[in-house]
Amino acid sequence: MAGEKVVDFTAPGTGGEFKLSTQKGHPVILYFYPKDNTPGCTVEGAQFRDLHKQFAKLGAVVVGVSRDSLKSHESFKSKMAFPFELLSDADEALCGKFGVMKMKNMYGKKVRGIERSTFVIDGTGKLVKEWRGVKVPGHAQEVLDFVKTL
């Protein structure tokens, strides 16, 4: 998938409808996370928040994606003071497009959920980097370091 053009998409977000093609000329960091207000997802979002000014200086657009409702996203974004949009993918259209739905073990039970993953799409709409099965500590910094090379 890396090196390929990402098909344009539209998704409902905390700032209204988000459309990939309107971000032309800007790298887009699309990070998929399992659930609002859970420990790992809160820490991951906070790391992207804390580095947001540096991403913005590079012209990069950070966007979080999960299957939570817009209402849940609005409250999570507000509580955490995220300066970036959160997209609601309740129908799993984006999750499907990026192949992030996986069977996971939750307290010994098999559940279908989002595998924490991050994708960088360059200013021309090409997928240039992907991380799957992300471990949260230091991840946002790693993404920032990569975006600096674009």
Please check whether residue 63 is in contact with residue 85, taking contact to mean a CB–CB distance below 8 angstroms: yes
Query: What single DSSP character describes residue 41?
Result: H
95 is known as an active-site residue: no
The amino acid present at 94, given as its one-letter code, is L
Q: Which is catalytic among the residues 6, 20, 29, 41?
A: 41
How many angstroms separate the CA atoms of 98 and 90, rounded?
14
Which residue has tokens 């989002």? 114
Distances (CA, A) of 37 to 16, 97, 111: 21, 24, 18
Residues with a known catalytic role: 41
